[in-house]
Each structure stands twice: as C-alpha cells, then as structure tokens.
Chains A and B, each alone.
Chain A
Amino acid sequence: MIGSISLELNGLNVRFGGLQALDQLSFSLQQGEIFGLIGPNGAGKTTLFNVITGLTAATSGEVRWQGKTTAGLRPDQLCNLGIARTFQNIRVFSDLSCIDNLQIAMGCNDRRAALELLGIVELQEKGTHLAGSLAYGEQRRLELVRALATKPQLLLLDEPAAGMNPVEKQKLQLLLNTIRKQFQLTILIIEHHVPLMMKLCDRLAVLNFGRCIAIGSPQEVQEDPLVIEAYLGRGA
C-alpha cells in the first residue's frame, strides 16, 4: 500500500476574521511516510491539524481522507476513521490513571491491551498512576500512546519533542520509527527541532503565513532559498 495517497489537501483556506491562517494549501501524504511540517510560530501548522481532526472548519477547499471529503465530520468520527493526534500543550486526562487514559481511547475495557501499549513507551510500571502525576516527558509519551490506542492509520504529532532533552529526542526518533512499522502508520509531524526532522522525515513541507513555501525531501527543503529567507530573513 506504500505510495498510495492517504490524506489530500485541496486548496485549503482557513480565515479567522482578518487573519488568513491557511492560504490555498494543497499537498498530499503518501501512505506510510513520515511527513514533517515546519515553519515559524503562527505559520498555521496547528490550525492545519485542527482542520484535519475536525476541530476547525475550512473556510474553503477541502481535506480528503482515503478518497472521501472530511467536511462536516466531527472529531470523534474522524478519530474512528483512523485519524489520531497529540497536542502541542499536553492534554492527557490528568485526573485519570494511565490505563484509563488508554481505555478511553480504545473505547472498551481491556486492561491487558492498555498495559501492552504502555509497554511500548516504557510506562508499564505506571499503569495505575494518575496521568497528571507523571513527569513531563512521561506525559508526552502517554499522550502518544493514547493516540495509538485509537488504532489510527494517520497519526498527527504536534511538537512531540518539545521540552525533551537530547537523549529523550534520540529515543523519540527510534520510537517513532518503530511504531510506524509496527502499526503501519502514516505520520504527519510538526516539530521545531530541525536536525530531528531532517533525520526522521521522508518529506517536509514548510509553512509561512499559512502558505506552503517549499515541499520536498529534507535535503531539497534545506537548500530552498525561500526557506532560508523565512527563517533567517532576506539577505542584504
């Protein structure tokens, strides 16, 4: 199945009053690839995630998932269709145990499966701990595995490495490669840590002011003059 299109954006526009958050965005994700989204703060990356997961409606244009438009679908319906996400600022269910966090995402009572999933991110010892009592990095991992518990085909990760130290970042990279193979995932990832993205992603898109200014392999994107301008400003 690798190579076929899973998610497709067609001329996607999102406007908040006078702010054009996304501007004529069109690209598509191949099944099984890790696709990175980079760009300065406010470029519209998280807005794009919110549109894909049904939290924000597109002003015009559409998102197509597995060949069908997602317009009008609720977040829970999109989740059931195989789109799962994590959040930029961690949103675990902090009053609930780790196992309950996963059982909610699974939608059934299955402690064994929950513990198995926790094992993937080395949290099996913390099953009965309240999610809010975990360390920051652990909460990030819990959120990641909670998204996996919904049995997604497309995983959206919003700055999964934020606040992680170099060792944790290294581990995250290995983890993402493992779960991508194990669960046959397509991954769309937002991350500011460029070296990590260069190593991790098959392709990258660069957003600036809601517009896609470059798309291609990490190598191509890195050498693109528009990207250099967006990040470093115009040369004298």
Chain B
Amino acid sequence: MFDISLFVLMLLGAILALAVYLPMRAGQLSLATPGFYTIGGTVAALLSTTVPELGGSEQIYPLASVFLELMLAIPLVALLAFLIGKPVLKLKGIYLAIATIALVEILRVVLLSSPWFGAAVGIFAIPQPFEGPEGYAAAFAVLLGITAWGCQRLETEPLGREMAAIRNDELAARCMGVHSERVKLIAFVLSAIIAAAAGVLAAHYFNSWSARQASFDASITTLAFVVLGGSRTWLGPVIGGLVLTALPELLRPIGDLRLIVFGLVILLGPIFIPQGLIQQKRS
C-alpha cells in the first residue's frame, strides 16, 4: 500500500539533498544544511504559534501566512548564511566540513538552552495549513519542483559551470577569471535558502519543532543522500533523497536489521558507485 506520509518525507529528503548538493557542486563539503533547515522551521514554528493575527478566522491555518513565514525566513537565513559563509568558506575540504558540523552543533545547543525557542521540549501545536498529508505532498512537490528546476537551469548557466570549474581545479578556475570566493558564497547562500524553505514547510507538517532537528545525524543522513545519488547533476541528489528516505521504512518488516542494511548502503555505495547512482552523461 502506498503511504502518502512516507511520500512527503521522501520529497523533503530530496529537497534537503539538493541543498547539500549545491555547495558540493562547487567542491565545498558543507554539512550546515540541517542547521539552516532548523532555523527555517524555528521561524515558522515561532511565528505561527505566537502571532495570533497569522491564524486567520478559519479553522485551517491560511496558506498566505505560510507564504509570509517563507518571506521572513528566507531573507533571514540568506543574511545569516552570507555572514557565516564569508569567513567559513575560506576553509577547504574536511576543515570546512568540521566547521559546518560545529555550526549546527552550536545552533542545537543554543536552541536547546533558550526557553524562547522551546528549549528541550520544543514548540508544540504548530497550526496546520492542510487537512491531510496530500496537501503537504503537493506543497513539498512544488518546492522540490522549483528547486530542481533551478538546479537544472544552473548547470547550463555560466554560474553553474563556474561552480563545476572550482570543484575541478579551484586554482585554475581563479586564473581563468572565476571569482571563486563569490561563487562559493552564492552556492552556500542558495543552499541555505533551500534548506530554510524546506524547514518552514516541515515545521507545519511535523506539528512540533525542536532542537533535535539540528543533529549531527541529520548532517550525515543528508550527506548520504548526495553520496548515494551522485553530486554531478541535480537528478542524483533527488534520487538519493527519495530512495534513502524510503529505504528504512520499506525495510521495516525486517526489524532492526534494516538499520544495518541502511548503513551498508551508505558504506558500500561510495566503494562500488563512487560517482553515485546518477552519473554524468558522457559523449
């Protein structure tokens, strides 16, 4: 039987995978995605539970208010990503990965210890703009569609090619006129925006939101989406996000063994398909 709520999670996984993919396309291993996702969700959770005007007169939370949350969360996160990205993106390779893990960890602890953000309990009773998972599926599908379309367009645009050039050889790219600091920063900010938008929708869907969203575990899981799917084209992370979100659920009948299977996929994927499931087309 097709489980619509699992489908919603799969779409969410694919969106987050695209957020991890964008910096990686420019050769930057950033694990900050769950951090920006959590900030987006926190903005939505706070606004919808504390500002009564957003609730409207109907039983159902108005979509216009969700849209307003997006319009507030996106510039906020973009600004934050810009300010963080400027110094942090000077780091290369594994050092950038470590720094971004630390950022997510700092955020988690801040949320966990501040009562305004719900502290350890989280924020509850986030109002619902849709009656059932079908509405959410549609909303996430639209967001995934826009994101995937943007990423696909990017691949044939000068900016996308500059990102690929930096991944290939940053020094040569700089000598060929590519302003690498700027390109990397754009990729980082775009990635943060995607994650924040997903967070806004997810906060409503999950009905509650807490610091637990910003876990190291989430960083690794979203990274695994891209590692399995492939980081060369936009389709790789989408497939990786869909498959790896569904896998643990589909394997539920085999009990706790499923976690082992899931781990093996992440472990063996890079060995046997180092470029990911979706490889670059060759000519």
In the complex, what distance in Å separates the CA atom of A74 from the CA atom of B165? 17
Whether a CB of chain A sits under 8 angstroms from the CB of B69 is no
* A103-B158, A104-B161 given; A55·B175 CB < 8 A: yes
Tell yes or no: A84 within 8 A of B by CB: yes
B171 contacts partner chain A, Cβ-Cβ < 8 Å: yes
- Tell me which residues across on chain B come within 8 A of A96, comparing CB atoms: 161, 164-165, 168
The verdict on A128 contacting chain B, using a C-beta distance below 8 Å, is yes
In the bound complex, do residue B180 and residue A104 qualify as a contact, i.e. CB atoms below 8 Å apart? no
Closest Cβ–Cβ distance, residue A25 to chain B (whole Å):
21
Per-position 1/0 for B125-166, Cβ under 8 A of A? 000000000000000000000000000000011100110110
Chain B contacts for A150, CB-based, 8 A? 176-177
Is B252 part of the contact surface with A, judged by Cβ < 8 Å? Answer: no
Instruction: Say whether B171 contacts A100, CB under 8 Å.
Output: no
Kindly provide the distance from the CB of B155 to the nearest chain A CB, expressed in whole angstroms: 10
Closest residue of chain B to A53 (Cβ to Cβ) is: B175
Main secondary structure of the interface of B (DSSP, over half): helix
**For residue A87, which residues in chain B have a CB less than 8 angstroms away from its CB?**
172
Quick one: given A91-B169, A91-B171, A128-B283, are A76 and B178 in contact (CB under 8 Å)? yes
A3 within 8 A of B: no
Which residues from chain B contact A55 at a C-beta distance below 8 Å?
Answer: 171, 174-175
Neighbour of B164 across the interface among A91, A100, A108, CB < 8 A: A100
Chain A residues near B167: list those with CB within 8 A. Answer: 95
Asked whether B157 lies within 8 Å of A109 as measured between CB atoms, the reply is: yes
B86 contacts A by Cβ under 8 Å = no
CB-CB under 8 A for A76 and B179, given A103-B158, A129-B283: yes
A26 interface contact, C-beta 8 A: no
| Given A91-B171, A95-B167, 10 other A-B residues pairs in contact with their CB atoms under 8 A | A55-B175, A75-B174, A76-B176, A80-B177, A87-B172, A93-B164, A96-B164, A103-B161, A108-B158, A150-B176
